Amino acid sequence: MCGQEYTQLQKHSRDTEIHLMEKKLWGGRFSDSLSEITEKLTVSVQYDSRLYRQDIRGSRAHASMLASIGVLSPDELSAILSGLDRVEREIEEGSFQFSAKLEDVHMNIESRLTQLIGDAGKKLHTARSRNDQITLDMRLYVRDECDEIAGLLCDLIGRLTAHASEQIDVMMPGYTHMQIAQPVRLSHHLLAHAWALSRDLTRIDAAYAAADICPLGAGALAGVNYPTDRDFVRRELGFDSITLNSMDSVSDRDYLLDFLYACAMIGLHLSRFCEELVLWSGFEFGFIRLGDNVTTGSSIMPQKKNPDIAELVRGKSGRLVGDLVTLLTVMKGLPLTYNRDLQEDKEPLFDAADTAEISLLGVTEMMKNITFKKERMEAAARRGYSTATDLADYLALKGVPFRSAHEIVGSIVAFCERENRDFFALGLDDLAKFSPVFDGDAVALLSPQGSTERKLSAGSTSRKEVLRQIAVLTEMIDARLKKEKC
């Protein structure tokens, strides 16, 4: 055979191989090929290919189960497992060519497996459907992402708790309506965000639990005609339980909505914190300095140092809310069981996971590179009549009805505004003009420094209560890390 003939034979062989690979695995009853627009609408491999690890993990468990009930011989099982190993290596090394003609990650992997090992690969899909296969993959994916996000939440909570411990005695103004309200400890303020994130951790745990139910074995919708051992697959994949209704198994996406809601709440909480970081880093507040490695400059104004990470995370929170609304809208009108609309569940899922993770990483990085300006914060706490409530409470404890005490102190504030007097420098003579109940000990109440220690209620901004919060959060994170190591 001459070189040209050999080259043509090779090309023919390659073309035949590609044709066979791209032949629809469901195409037995079809005579016409799909139109171009149908191909474009139905293909999902451009984004669901990222499920390859979960898909291969599920296929390994399924093949092992099929061998345990006699559907696969030991040799066939061995060939399938080694073939899946090779497919996974090819994908991770970048030599695997995903084909849009094969629509999705499942068919691409199965086609390549069959190409590698022959007829044994064609047996892998026995007793399962793409309907239960995809929800298995996505449940595995959600579990993996929940673990990742939980770790990032723990990192950020730990970082905030560490700052709270280091800044335990730094005072700052607390705000309502963005107006100075009462003095608080900076540590107390930071821990407020840590507690919100701890609830996000609870929601992520709940999303994990919702996903931790194995659907494989439900088939297309009605079950399968084989004596499969679903509990075998559950154990192989580490699921807590199996789904108990095959129709619900393939149509349920509640676990995705739980995950998307948890991510949306993470975005919301980070956005609120980032809004404060943007304000605090500005000249008008000047409460913090963000490091050069977490800020950017201006192309025209050389003096600028912009808190871009905080602004971007604040902006990305809208995407997380949108991802949740997208899937809620997809799901709201679907009849049982599987509908192709559910192909739209993957992009918001992947986007939410990616966005939540990079947002958490961004805020944690800012917390590693932040300086709190103690003097500026404490000076701000001495503005805006921040201890006026302390004066009103003083009068109430002396027997003055609180509403009357409120009015008296309001008159003192009005006097200071009218006469341009420093509220925090008032003496006993000044206070006595408004009520004879004021005694010498009332003057000390004007200072913000002691205000936090007069807060006696549980969960308050007093030093004792802040230390208790730090201890509870630290114990929670330590216990979680210890459990993960076990």
If you average pLDDT over residues 177-198, what whole number do you get? Answer: 97
Kindly report the CA angle at 307 between 304 and 308, in degrees rounded to 5?
105
Residue 21 inside a domain? The answer is no
Q: What is the DSSP string of 236-269?
A: HHT-SEE-S-HHHHHH--HHHHHHHHHHHHHHHH
Instruction: Note down the domain range covering 67.
Output: 37-126
Kindly report the CA angle at 281 between 278 and 286, in degrees rounded to 5?
140
The CATH number linked to 41 is: 1.10.275.10
**pLDDT at position 9 over 90:** no
Residue 46 inside a domain? The answer is yes
| 88 and 202 part of one domain | no
Count how many domains the chain has. 3
The last residue of a domain, from among 362, 380, 398: 380
Give the pLDDT confidence score for residue 4 in this predicted structure: 54
If you average pLDDT over residues 309-334, what whole number do you get? Answer: 97
Residue 453 inside a domain? The answer is no
| 257 and 354 part of one domain | yes
| 134 and 76 part of one domain | no
| 77 and 112 part of one domain | yes
**pLDDT at position 12 over 60:** no
Residue 279 inside a domain? The answer is yes
Residue 1 inside a domain? The answer is no
**pLDDT at position 2 over 60:** no
Alpha carbon 445 to its chain centroid, in Å, reads 43
| 407 and 323 part of one domain | no
Nearest to 172 by CA among 188, 157, 156, 160: 188
CA 465 vs CA 171, 181, 330: distances in Å: 15, 20, 46
Q: Is the Cβ–Cβ distance between 277 and 366 less than 8 Å?
A: yes
Just list the catalytic residues.
177, 298
pLDDT 10s digits, 223-275: 999 999 999 999 999 999 999 999 999 999 999 999 999 999 999 999 999 99
Amino acid, single-letter form, for residue 324:
L
